[in-house]
A and B are shown apart, each in its own frame.
Chain A
């Protein structure tokens, strides 16, 4: 296990390096630069050249890459072209907001997917199972932004019960506690959107893996020695049934991150996703590059985590 872990970690390093080169070259192939973002018609050609030098854009590309990489490894993501602020400061502002959206959505999706998957599996072939299957088919075919728009319509335009964008209501005086609940109310719809997207697929996995497990002999043995049906399900079946789901959830991280970006765009939630969209529009390349690198690194780490968790949770799996 230990040796396997070390080998997997070592394999991840070249992948991360390749990813960073890929992203870096990609961003530098894009047209434009700081002098276009901070465009000023009175600026002389000399001043523009000076600006490029200040951002280190006149060095050969490999030198630029090495400089950027060494700075990034010590936590310096560079300066934003548009805001003239350190990128790490911008990310630090936005990241907590994304986590506020991501963590509850992730938890809700996981719990509901587990619950619904197990129910479908236990009542296989029943009306409940068929309706859950149908709903999950609908969920899989539904693009994130469309679901978000639908929820905005139902709860915002039609029922007038929930706010549909941003993080706070404007033009109302609120006590600190009121402001907190106001913030929570703004969180509900984007969180539901993000959670619903994953529930559909994950509950399918949970269903099929539970069906696989409850057919096995040790389940019958447990029932025969007198364990109650609920206890068998939760103590004996779930442990094994949840293993494939854990892997799928970890591998799906990239898709969920993409879904979060789209959700933030639809609901104007000012997290990393909105920062991504605004820096894409203003061609703020240092910010874009940082977001891409962080996203890619997280995807690789979560894939690694999936492999490791797989082994931890299922001792039958041997690593060669």
Chain B
């Protein structure tokens, strides 16, 4: 104690006074040491357009799933009584009672937009899920085992890739689907797994040569364990990115099919078949086309922005900002 007093050795003299706030911050910085996931998340948050996409998608989900209950526009198939003048002029123009107007029969376009959005989002998301699973299955076996298996699976993929996609979609949906969401989801999934399969194959080809795979094999892991416990998580980044982009893509496919009358069949509403119905009244009431059209466009745009944001956030070569 005396010694301390003599030389005046308090902590504040060990370190120059002006450093002290920095010292405190260092402790904080050490505590703030971020995990890999946290770094990626922070990087994603800094991408304003991508965050905007996420926010829009969340709003869209609320709009489609909670909207009918909240706004009371919950009868998409009810034929509302509308005046004769509206029937002759392509439906009611937007009013407080019908914010999106109606078609010439009296379908409430807001109610149909919300319920149709549920179908379009459902088709986009679930067909993406099935396609990604198919792509991972085929791509991982081709990439991991190589040789004959790789050759067979990739020639199979090539066949699917060498058919003009939309022609095959139209042919198959015209004859093999019944216009229900389930059949359309399956159809879109069966025709959209190819790029994921190629991507996964490429990742597996590169990753199976890594040391950790050898290490796993050394401790006795079986092939399937190595494939799905060790390699797949390391290939997750590109797969997640392509999955996000695939959702937007599949929503477009659904809308194209339904627009030409081969997709989801009325009375079930989807954004695509709303445009199909509105197309007949295009010159008198173009809003019937533009409202679902704008919803499709903004939703697809948001999925693409989120996908690109994820790609940038997951890229290890991006400098940490």
Binding site for B on A (CB under 8 A): 14-15, 18-19, 22-23, 26-27, 30-31, 137-138, 140-146, 149-150, 152-153, 157, 254-255, 257-259, 261-262, 265, 276-277, 280-281, 288, 291-292, 295-296, 299-300, 303
Contact = CB atoms under 8 A, between A and B. Distances in A.
B175 A149 contact: no
A265 B297 CA distance: 20
Contacts of B286: 153, 157
Contacts of B207: none
Contacts of B164: 254, 257-258, 261, 292, 295-296, 299
B171 A292 contact: yes
Nearest to A21: B159
B252 interface: yes
Given A143-B255, A145-B259, A15 B167 contact: no
A140 B163 contact: no
B162 interface: yes
B66 to A, nearest CB: 25
A135 B85 CA distance: 40
A257 B162 CA distance: 12
A68 to B, nearest CB: 17
Interface string B112-130: 0000000000000000000
The 3 A-B residue pairs with the shortest CB-CB distance, nearest first, are: A258-B166, A141-B301, A295-B164
A19 B162 contact: yes
A146 B275 contact: yes
B62 to A, nearest CB: 21
Nearest to B303: A141
B174 to A, nearest CB: 5
Given A22-B163, A292-B167, A299-B162, 20 more contacts: A15-B162, A26-B172, A138-B297, A141-B297, A146-B297, A149-B275, A150-B293, A152-B282, A157-B282, A254-B161, A254-B162, A257-B164, A262-B166, A276-B170, A280-B171, A292-B168, A292-B171, A296-B162, A296-B163, A299-B161
B166 A261 contact: yes
A261 B167 contact: yes
Contacts of B158: 15
Chain A interface secondary structure, helix, strand, loop or mixed? helix
Contact of B159 (A18, A265, A276): A18
23 contacts: A15-B159, A15-B162, A22-B163, A137-B301, A138-B301, A141-B297, A141-B300, A141-B304, A142-B297, A146-B275, A146-B296, A146-B297, A149-B279, A149-B289, A153-B282, A257-B164, A261-B166, A262-B166, A280-B174, A295-B163, A296-B163, A299-B161, A300-B162
A137 B286 CA distance: 24
Contact of A18 (B155, B167, B275, B293): B155
A19 B165 contact: no
Chain B interface secondary structure, helix, strand, loop or mixed? helix
B248 interface: yes
B54 to A, nearest CB: 16
Contacts of A296: 162-164
B162 A303 contact: yes
Contact of B293 (A19, A146, A265, A300): A146
B159 A22 contact: yes
Contacts of B175: 30-31
B305 interface: yes
Interface in B240-262: 248, 252, 255-256, 259-260
Contacts of B320: none
B282 to A, nearest CB: 7
Nearest to A302: B162
A206 B286 CA distance: 36
A153 B294 CA distance: 14
Contacts of A23: 163
Contact of B163 (A150, A276, A292): A292
A19 B256 contact: no
A276 B168 CA distance: 11
Contacts of B256: 143-145, 262
Contacts of B174: 280-281
A143 B296 contact: yes
A259 B165 CA distance: 10
Contacts of B163: 19, 22-23, 254, 292, 295-296, 299
A304 to B, nearest CB: 10
B206 to A, nearest CB: 18
Contacts of A149: 275, 279, 282, 289, 293
